[in-house]
Amino acid sequence: MASHQFQTEVSQLLHLIIHSLYSNKEIFLRELISNASDALDKLKYLSLTDDKYKSLDQEFRIDIKFDEEAHTLTIADTGIGMNDEELAQNLGTIAKSGTKSFLANLSGDAKKDSNLIGQFGVGFYSAYMVADKIEVLTKKPGDSQGWKWTSDGKGEFDISPAEKENYGTSITLYLNDEGKEYTTRWQLELLIKKYSDHISFPIYLEYMSVRYEGDEKDPKEIKEKKIEKINSGSALWKRSKSELTDADYNEFYKTISHDTEDPLFYVHTKAEGTLEYTTLFFIPKKAPFDMLHADYKPGVKLYVSRVFITDDDQELMPVYLRFLRGVIDSEDLPLNVSREILQQNKIMSSIRNASVKKVLAELKSLSESNKEKYNEFIKQYNVVLKEGIWSDWANRDTLLDLVRFKSTVADGYTSFADYVGRMKEGQKAIYYITGGNEQSLKASPLIEAYKAKGYEVLVMDDPRIDEIVLSALGKYKDYDLKSVNKSGSAEELKSAEDEAKADALKPVLEKIKNVLGDKIKKAVVSSRLSDSPSCIVADENDPTMEMQEILRSIGQQKDDCAPVLEINPDHVIVKRLADTDDKETVEDISWLLLDEAKLAEGAKLDDPAGFIRRINKLAEKAL
Ligand code: ADP
């Protein structure tokens, strides 16, 4: 017998599961049955595609039995089984990507954590909520040697060779006080129906039935072992929409996603005609924990005529729709499709294209019929829709209708269509401001003149994506998208009067540029400022400050691009600056105009001490 240590993350996860999922402990049965079903799926697939497995002699099935006195519960399947190495790997480590950062994100608050853990998918380990000890007896088809894995879930597990007659896996739980209730026929029947009715392999429950015979006054008790099939066993997605309830969909979603919450939304489609396929997609209420990891786990399973093919193919759906959970079942693909074939397969790409269109169209109608629900969706998935704008040209127009932004004139979410509907007469472009923080963007001096004219400005405060997508986009319908953070954007606001002022202030601009040197690209007279004395913008062809941050973070930008300093010709400070030639005053004021503008943008100052010194000097003078 060999003893092994659980990987640190497993121990941590076990501890968390036991302490945060208590109120939902019955899901352990769903998890074990769904593992059994996966194991059967894998073997069934091999039996259809690999000669080595053509002559299997067991029925594909799941068997559940219990012992009321010994407090044990056994879930057995005739699936693919595991050898000793696989046992150690599968039930001793967590292969899921992002596990570490997932665990680091947990708060210690049981309620919050149970949601997160639900999304993570606890699987096998959830059985430790109801068991003190678990024994896994397993053998692979074709192997002569079986193996036994045992553990009390406290840091170590043992693996030893064991006798097993049939191939497949049999998992026995030694139930603790929490789990004792799961040794009655009615309780187990209830749970199997509730969680696993749609599992496509038969689930049998073994129980003792008692009947009385003979003399009515002195009946003889006769106990008989009975085995009954519990689940209806039809693949849920194949059933017609009209016979399915929301509850059916919700339970099915939970089995395939491991989520503890109901889904936000689902789309069930049956296509008939040139191509025959069924798809059922779910959108989780909360974005999957690994949605923003590069090595996310895809959530869509591919079946061919109800036979499971793969659940690990990132190409089944476009990357930006990686939050979708669900099933694609095609009648037209060959059973032995390999990953390479899938990638080039015309049928697969037609199904994929039609599915994307369908999901986006359903979201579009949701946005019209149920704003509240749509807003919930946007809260979680706006960022990936924006990614779609960038990556999915074919559906760009729909995606442009689906994304939402914050705005200077409306609370909540604004669409491009909302914006256009509110445009002022004579307004030619859609204006947006980018940066890291909604509050400071809305208060930014850059948008003063737009506000004054009644122009709406979209507030793009998601540094991960806004800048990249919008600069790539350029236009919405016939309207140019203009970044307020750029020097050219205020052109439209310029009047003849402004031109005259700009001429008059030329000497001041020269003074400022002489002081600030290469800290600024140039100083210009602004047409956009009303209250503030100055602001900074990026030169027309330079990346904005936000973009420079992004470029720097991915190692694409070495030096800063100096900003353009815009000054307000009507501001007292600027007027006084025109009137003075005192070297020290000109220097101090020039620096203040730049540093203040930087602060208003939330940017860092090169010389904060110098800034404070100048402010203090001016305060002294004023007092
Ligand atoms: P998940 O099912 O999410 O991968 P689990 O912790 O439930 O996570 O299971 C880990 C792995 O153990 C599975 O991916 C599978 O490879 C293996 N496994 C679990 N149960 C069985 C079973 N009944 N038969 C064969 N393999 C199993």
Q: Whose CA is nearest to atom 12 of ligand 1?
A: 90
pLDDT confidence tier of residue 106, bands split at 50, 70 and 90: low
245: its two tokens: 């309830």
Q: Which two tokens stand for residue 516?
A: 């600030």
For atom 15 of ligand 1, the residue with the nearest CA is: 90
Q: Band of the pLDDT at 259, cuts 50, 70, 90?
A: confident
Residue 232's pLDDT band, with cuts at 50, 70 and 90, is confident
Q: Can you give the pLDDT at residue 32?
A: 93
Among 28, 31, 35, the mutation site with the greatest number of ligand 1 atoms within 8 A of its Cβ is 35
Q: What is the 276 CA–ligand 1 centroid distance (Å)?
A: 31
Assess whether pLDDT exceeds 90 at residue 115. Answer: no
Q: What is residue 112's predicted lDDT score, i.e. its pLDDT?
A: 64
The fraction of the chain above a pLDDT of 90, given in percent, is: 52
Residue 267, number of CB atoms within 10 A of its CB: 19
- pLDDT category at 117 given cuts 50, 70, 90 is low
Q: Which of 241-245, 342-346, 480-484 has the lowest mean pLDDT?
A: 342-346
**Interior CA angle at 47 toward 44 and 52, to 5°?**
145
Given a cut of 60, is residue 8 above it in pLDDT? yes
Give residue 479's pLDDT.
93
Interval between CA 136 and ligand 1 midpoint (Å): 11
Specify the long-range contacts of residues 159-162, CB closer than 8 Å, at least 24 apart: 159/1, 159/2, 159/4, 159/84, 159/87, 159/88, 160/1, 160/2, 161/84, 162/137
Contacts of 129 (CB under 8 A, 6+ apart): 17, 18, 21, 22, 25, 28, 178, 179
Q: Which residues pair with 407 in a beta bridge?
A: 458
Pocket test for ligand 1, best of 90, 134, 311 (most atoms within 8 A of CB): 90
Closest CA to 182 of 404, 30, 371: 30
Alpha helices in 454-582 (DSSP H): 466-473, 496-504, 506-516, 545-553, 572-579
Ligand 1 atom closest to Cα of 77?
23
Neighbour count for residue 51 (Cβ, 10 Å): 8
pLDDT attached to residue 122: 66
Ligand 1 geometric centre to CA of 502 (Å): 72
Where residue 114 falls among pLDDT bands split at 50, 70, 90?
low
What burial class does residue 84 get, using C-beta atoms within 10 Å of its C-beta: 0-12 exposed, 13-18 middle, 19+ buried? middle
- Two tokens at 112? 């919050």
- Whether residue 157 is predicted with pLDDT greater than 60 in this model: the reply is yes
| pLDDT reading at 407 higher than 70 | yes
Q: Rounded CA gap, 392 and 321, in Å?
A: 10
Instruction: Provide residues with CB under 6 Å of ligand 1.
Output: 31, 35-36, 39, 77, 79-82, 90-91, 121, 123-125, 169
Q: How far apart are the C-alpha atoms of 329 and 238, rounded to whole Å?
A: 9
At CA 617, angle to CA 616 and CA 620, rounded to 5?
A: 85
Residue 193 binned pLDDT confidence (cut-offs 50, 70, 90)? confident
Provide the pLDDT for residue 558.
Answer: 62
- Out of 191-205, 275-289, 436-450, 492-506, least confident range: 492-506
Instruction: Compute the distance from residue 256 Cα to the ligand 1 centre, in Å.
Output: 13
* Full-model pTM: 0.72
Kindly give the distance from the C-alpha atom of residue 311 to the centroid of ligand 1, in angstroms, as a whole number. 13
Q: Report the separation in Å between the CA atom of 171 and the middle of ligand 1, taken as the mean of its atom positions.
A: 11
Whole-number Å distance, alpha carbon 94 to ligand 1 midpoint, is 10
Mean pLDDT confidence for 591-600: 92
Provide the 10 A C-beta neighbour count for residue 180.
13
What number does the ligand 1 atom closest to the CA of 121 have? 3
- Residue 319 tokens read as 């990357």
3-class secondary-structure state, position 90 = helix
pLDDT tens per residue across span 9-44: 787 778 777 776 666 788 899 889 989 999 999 999
- The pLDDT score that the predictor gives to residue 39 is 95
Q: CA-to-CA distance for 156 and 168, rounded, in angstroms?
A: 24
Is the pLDDT at 183 greater than 60, yes or no? yes
pLDDT at 399: 96
**Residue nearest to ligand 1 atom 10, measured at CA:** 90
Predicted pLDDT at 451: 87
Ligand 1 centroid, distance to 258 Cα (angstroms): 13
